């Protein structure tokens, strides 16, 4: 978004570009933002004791509350993707790897006493700060992205963090289902992992937990998708699936995972064209908004998802007074979890029926 020129963190230009992104996301119904503590909390370490400056984190959160309609904070993962090796700020005091003695991030297991030293200071201090700001109820913490298994290290890390802060709530994209049941407050399975584990997920919701959905890397026959080589109606039906299944959120993979090496500049006046089939990922997998100099562009797919969010809200409104009719309309488009109606004329008829039923209700707000 800056012509491939570096942007100084928290500079005027940084906030200008971030506002452009926030404007686009707010207009399309985005209300959860991934904000990583390790990226926005200044850490000092004297070899034993840590000190934390939370003001950069606060500034980013307050910015997205104001500019992006932030309702939930998604704390970036504390451990490396697909495993539970922690990423810990450690002071490497003048050694060959870090001759300046600055605080750096180092990967290490929970069994390392340095990891426990950091977490035992950071987590209580961070949650004390979140409570002071009134954000503790809207903060969700990732353990690690797409864990391969809920082995002892994953469970041990969750248990240790809960010992430090009993109110902590965990969220992860995971297909582990019941295997990660003790760890997660918000389960996010890939859409086709939901039906085989529906009983567990519904019980999780009935017990006060949450279940969202996401899509990543592949397609499965019969399930709605948002890749740009698929009909837009499939994209529109994603949030009909949310209503049909009772799931209450959608996690982007990806929203803006742009990578410099995949950019191809055609002419100075043109947009950058990004190859989002990078590393064998399907077209549209990595992002759904597109960068340009000083701004970000939406897409047909993102606008369709915005309309799908509106459909979800309409279905929820009807379900408050006529739950069976709302259910019947949703089932007409999603007869089975792995089956969807792809005739656009049927969709238009059912959406018209939905709007007609809502129009017959008493004026909203009575």
Distance between CA 350 and CA 243 in Å, rounded?
Answer: 15
**Residue length of the chain:** 366
Q: Identify the pLDDT of residue 100.
A: 46
Distance between CA 84 and CA 151 in Å, rounded?
Answer: 9
pLDDT tens digit sequence for 9-59:
999 999 999 999 999 999 999 999 999 998 999 888 877 888 999 999 999
Lowest mean pLDDT among 84-98, 111-125, 140-154, 176-190: 84-98
Alpha-carbon 218 to chain mean position: 18
Can you spell out the DSSP letters for 25-68?
HHHTT--EEEE-HHHHSEEEE-SS-EEEE-HHHHHHHHHHHHHH
> What's the N-to-C CA distance of the chain in angstroms?
46
Long-range Cβ contacts of 107-115 (<8 Å, 24+ apart):
107/80, 109/84, 109/85, 109/153, 110/84, 110/86, 110/153, 110/156, 110/157, 110/160, 112/88, 114/88, 114/90, 115/86, 115/88
Q: Identify the pLDDT of residue 255.
A: 93
| Measured CA distances, 110 to 152, 154, 161, 291 (Å) | 11, 10, 10, 38
Q: Encoding tokens for residue 140? A: 């969700």
In the block, residue with structure tokens 């089939």: 277
Q: What single DSSP character describes residue 296?
A: E
Distance between CA 19 and CA 296 in Å, rounded?
Answer: 10
Distance between CA 303 and CA 107 in Å, rounded?
Answer: 39
Q: Identify the pLDDT of residue 264.
A: 42
User: Mean pLDDT in the chain?
Assistant: 87
Q: Identify the pLDDT of residue 363.
A: 62
- Give helix 323-333 / helix 238-245 axis angle, nearest 10°: 130
């Amino acid at each position: 978004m800056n012509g491939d020129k570096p942007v100084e963190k928290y500079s005027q230009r940084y906030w200008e570009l971030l506002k452009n992104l926030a404007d686009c996301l707010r207009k399309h119904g985005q209300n959860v933002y991934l904000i990583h503590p390790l990226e926005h909390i200044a850490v000092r370490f004297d070899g034993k004791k840590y000190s934390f400056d939370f003001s950069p984190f606060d500034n980013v959160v307050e910015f997205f509350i104001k500019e992006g309609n932030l309702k939930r904070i998604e704390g970036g993962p504390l451990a490396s993707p697909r495993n539970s090796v922690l990423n810990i700020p450690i002071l490497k005091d003048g050694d060959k790897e870090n001759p300046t003695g600055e605080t750096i991030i180092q990967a290490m297991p929970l069994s390392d006493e340095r990891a426990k030293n950091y977490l035992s200071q950071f987590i209580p201090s961070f949650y004390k700060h979140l409570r002071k700001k009134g954000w503790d109820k809207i903060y969700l913490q990732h353990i690690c992205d797409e864990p391969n298994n809920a082995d002892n290290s994953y469970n041990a890390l969750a248990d240790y963090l809960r010992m430090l802060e009993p109110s902590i709530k965990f969220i992860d994209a995971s297909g582990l289902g019941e295997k990660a049941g003790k760890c997660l407050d918000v389960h996010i399975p890939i859409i086709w992992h939901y039906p085989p584990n529906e009983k567990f997920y519904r019980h999780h919701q009935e017990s006060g937990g949450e279940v969202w959905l996401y899509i990543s890397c592949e397609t499965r026959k019969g399930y709605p998708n948002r890749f740009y080589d698929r009909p837009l109606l499939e994209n529109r039906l994603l949030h009909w699936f949310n209503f049909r299944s009772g799931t209450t959120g959608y996690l982007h993979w990806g929203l803006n995972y742009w990578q410099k090496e995949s950019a191809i500049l055609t002419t100075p006046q043109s947009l950058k064209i990004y190859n989002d089939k990078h590393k064998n990922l399907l077209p549209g997998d990595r992002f759904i908004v597109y960068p340009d100099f000083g701004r970000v562009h939406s897409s047909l797919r993102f606008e369709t998802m915005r309309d799908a969010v509106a459909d979800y809200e309409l279905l929820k409104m009807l379900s408050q007074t006529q739950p069976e009719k709302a259910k019947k309309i949703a089932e007409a488009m999603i007869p089975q979890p792995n089956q969807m109606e792809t005739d656009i004329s049927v969709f238009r008829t059912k959406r018209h029926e939905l709007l007609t039923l809502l129009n017959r209700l008493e004026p909203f707000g009575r």
